[in-house]
Structure 1
């Protein structure tokens, strides 16, 4: 029998979000209903509300979530009712060309639930990243449920569902950071601080945090930054070079996603170093670089989708590191809020007052 639950919905471009009643159907084949315990407020949700991703309103927002599997549909074997899970938007298909080549982290046909969740009048909802977890319950494909140690607090665990995982993975999976490396991170919000935490976790020797907000630079130190650069006061490229013996960093991560920050990242790396773009640009942005510089500097220029993660591999491992005290995930949680405070959380996020507001359900 379908459930009627409270949820946060974006009804139109730029309009304030609303808490409404939605209908969550029973799980069909390959699907699962999850009782959401916590869901982080991510910039991607704001992009949906602003119409920056598509115009398929109304959107059911929320995707950085953890909760308890309540029911599963026919054929589901990997999770069962009662399991504590983190929701992910990379439920790999196993049969696309990327999966067949042994690169499931690049899966081109990730699974989502087949049935729609709806408003009570039957209007279908578009769930953010195929999840829609600013809701007391949500319907997802069972492959979007990654079982982890239930000792982890839901408000902390759910953050691996998007931004924090994107940052950690940008440093470790995409950028290949390792012991002794020098790493610079441009932009010290949730994704950037995730990259800093990831670089610190794998033993990078020098981690340089770059931002224009002194508060964010202070946050970056909490995640392992050894040096900070206030880009409002000094040239970021020159500062990174000065901190690396004049050479530039081995790995530079652009967690902002603007042409000017990408250009800074490109020129702040050492010869044969790596640049990783993990900040999300908008469609109108263009990049110009002298092609000779691209050739002459060597190395690699990469983009990172979801930190090139494989949830079934990475989520349990990172939760274990958190429980061992080796990954400070709890420091990302600035505040825990109620479902009807999401609009205010967007405003705080826009002003740079929080790393993550997290909706928690009693």
Structure 2
């Protein structure tokens, strides 16, 4: 019996040791090529895909994506993504390691033909993270974004990744979607996919740099149009994906700016006639970072602050109604998820509407109702005084 107890103790110790030893598919990093981004373009010479891999040369020292880490671009072609990855081994001479891959950049032509086959490989690969993000190149090819000369110490892959995080969190510039979110949208009824666009920005006398641009709009998995940059913030309001950012009334109150502290959007629908009516209810709390010229600091209950709240409310309501109308008249696909919401909360109505949802979406009316509260004036300044 003693040997049985010893064997059990050894087995228990081994299991504990294994739990602290890392992944079962562990590989030595020096035996692999670390991929930080993949650009997918149309292939040549009869091949369907041309792939460009941004890879890190870790032997040069430095942390991932930072100064001292030199990116290397490997290229290959294939009739599938898997075929292209395997063909890249002839140039890399090492296994490609995708666990640190930041994003996949799609060319416009690839996106127009359909991205589902591209997605499927990344979904099925054991190393790829489901948090991987996808963007669409606004340049003629996807590869030229990776070949762009670095403006900072970061590689193009980490520049784009950082821009996606910062833009979504602070500037209402895009809606970055992870791989699993993209797959969910393509699998659901009543919702359409959007992806951030990235382009090369050039100004005379300054080095070119990568920046976020318009938002790509899809019907199913095919690119069909673009949402202008100035419409994206209100698209995010409808989708309840606002974290921070600014509301700038513009001509409604020149010089005023409101920083969003928190925001929540609810969708409600009524049904009469051939198309539903959508009401977008937005509740936001903001701080007034700048007063319009001539405005005076004061109590939140003063007429001045009532006017500030009214200006912010009118700006958001007009922007939301405008972006819905714009999408209805241009691409005509439901990127707001109205249909998805109806399918979950009004299944009997959705059963009648789902057969021709795109047509119904184009006809439906939408009204925005925003409640904007100025909650903090600690940073409030008058523009005249600051100039």
Q: TM-score, normalised by structure 2?
A: 0.29
Q: Which has the higher helix share?
A: 2
Larger Rg: 2
